[in-house]
Amino acid sequence: MSNLHVSIRLLRQAGATKELKSALERIRAAGPISAISRDARQVILRRSAPRRLRVPELAVLRAAAELMASTEADSALEAVLASLAAGGPPNVAGASQHRIARLGAAWETASALASTCGRGSEVAALLLQVARDEHQHAQLLDSNVAKAIRALPWDKMGSSVKAEWRDWLAGGQTQDFRDTAEAVAIALSLPLTQTEELAGTESIATRLNIGLRNPTARFTDKEVGEVVRQASASLDKMREEAARGLFSFGTRSVGDVAALLIIEYPHARDLWGSLSSFLTSDAIPRTERTPAFDRLARERPALPTATREAFGSAADRLMDSPDTGILYDDHITPYPAALRFLSAYGLVEEARIMESLARLSGHADLRARREASDTLSYLRGHAAEPWILPFALQMSHESDISIKSNASHFLAHVATRNGPYAAVASARLIELLEKEDGLLVPLFALRELVGKPEIPEDVVQAITSLRHAHPSRRVRSIASDVLAGLST
């Protein structure tokens, strides 16, 4: 731990922000998280003056926020607010970063700290003032305010500041703050009163996202017809252009938007024709198809007979064709997202699933092994099969934390099934919960256990220990949710 603590400190002192953030992310995931807490205390003690609180120091405070006691988070938040009052964090020596980007780091850190010390309303009021008063560099400002908005604990904030944000959203001054308006609307389950015409993937996706949280913002039947027409045209256009070697880029995946429309709106079923042609086209890069494949595999909306036949006839080609091109190059086969989708819908035989999972989990490329572990969660329907648990057990011993975390998620599922392998899964799950010193393994396992009325007693004891002793506020909270859901 001491060596990692020193590494964090040296990266922070050197102003190596990018490398520091990467290190903090890895340590938060895999541990030991005490190294982050230790350096955060040094920041509060020695670097809290406004002229010394730079973006690297803020990164450490933000990473440690959920590990802090309320009093520690309160002291750290005071330092961040003082920095903002003094004009924001200074530049790192020898480097220059846009002032709004530096302010954004402070706003996001303030939101994270406020979640721990219960001062979310205060930070929300500060961000509202920014949205009202600042209009220079609007796009950069908007994205940074929106990030901080998303990090706030809205469910624990006062009604007064929420009402002020509602008034701002309804006041017609949101044209320069589209991301912020969307974030506030989602947080408060409000419709966007000032919306642009439903023209293009971006505007359709915005309404879709808000409608997931707020029924009054959902598309009307008339609007569904229009957005289906637009989405279908976009899918066909991208497929035709890709066949000619032309590619366009956007922040939203049109395939994923189309998949979500089908899942959420029965009248959007007409999209299946265009979407299936899009997803089975080898000319479309995997980066554009994977989000849709994975969403469909998770939610499993009913496939029309013709669509099922189209995917079934293309199954071998989908699985075995690598993604090669000038802009994209993914040689991993079988194509993991296609494997997950085809498995979820029973479009490939179990022997092929087993063989494909073995190829991915034994691949020399770490990305392939990560894809294999991610595929486990889509194979719940096969959890009772004797061949699948050994894959999960082996993956739970991998050194890569994302693989180990996905394995813990699947083991938690098997442990609650009362089948012949529950005891084996429970034993390894308990081992992971007791010994792992990062956040990812307990979070993945606990999220699978939330809402389960019956959990093996020895697993319950391990979860009880997490609730009382884990350094992370988030882990303790989810552990409490799991225990609260148990049948008495």
Model confidence over 22-60: pLDDT tens digits? 999 999 999 999 999 999 999 999 999 999 999 999 999
**Whole-number pLDDT of residue 309:** 96
pLDDT digits (tens, 9 = 90+) for 263-304: 999 999 999 999 999 999 998 989 999 999 999 999 999 999
Q: Is the confidence at residue 327, as pLDDT, over 90?
A: no
pLDDT of amino acid 418:
82
Query: How do the domains of the chain map onto residue ranges?
Result: 2-118, 389-488
Tokens of 439: 């956040």
User: What mean pLDDT, rounded, does the chain reach?
Assistant: 92
Instruction: Quote the pLDDT of residue 275.
Output: 97
Q: What is the pLDDT of residue 246?
A: 79
The pLDDT of residue 196 is above 60:
no
pLDDT, tens only, 212-238: 888 878 898 899 999 999 999 999 999
Using the predicted structure, report yes or no on whether residue 2 has a pLDDT greater than 80. Answer: no
Which residues are within 8 A (CB) of 22 and not within 5 positions of it... i.e. 6 or more apart? Answer: none
Angle value at C-alpha 108, between 106 and 110, nearest 5 degrees = 65
Tens digits of residue pLDDT in 389-401: 999 999 999 999 9
The DSSP code for 65 is G
The torsion angle over the Cα atoms of residues 51, 56, 57 and 58, rounded to 10 degrees, is 100
Q: What is the pLDDT of residue 1?
A: 44
Banded pLDDT at 403 (limits 50, 70, 90): very high
Residue 161 has pLDDT above 90, yes or no: yes
Interacting residues of 76 by C-beta distance below 8 A, sequence separation 6+: 40, 43, 44, 48, 61, 65, 68, 113
Give whole-number Cα distances, 374 to 228, 336, 405, 409, 437, in Å: 30, 9, 9, 10, 21
Render pLDDT for 62-101 as a digit per residue (tens, 0 to 9): 999 999 999 999 999 999 999 999 999 999 988 889 999 9
- Among candidate residues 31, 33, 32, 55, the one with its CA nearest the CA of residue 43: 55
CATH number for region 389-488: 1.25.10.10
Q: Which amino acid is at 306?
A: A
Residues 416, 123: Cα–Cα separation, whole Å: 41
109-143 pLDDT tens trace = 999 999 999 999 999 999 999 998 877 788 899 99
Q: How far is the CA of 15 from the CAs of 8, 90, 370, in angstroms? A: 11, 11, 31
Read off the pLDDT of residues 437-482 as tens digits, 9 standing for 90 and up.
Answer: 999 999 999 999 999 999 999 999 999 999 999 999 999 999 999 9
Is residue 193 over pLDDT 70? no
Q: What per-residue confidence (pLDDT) applies to 386? A: 86
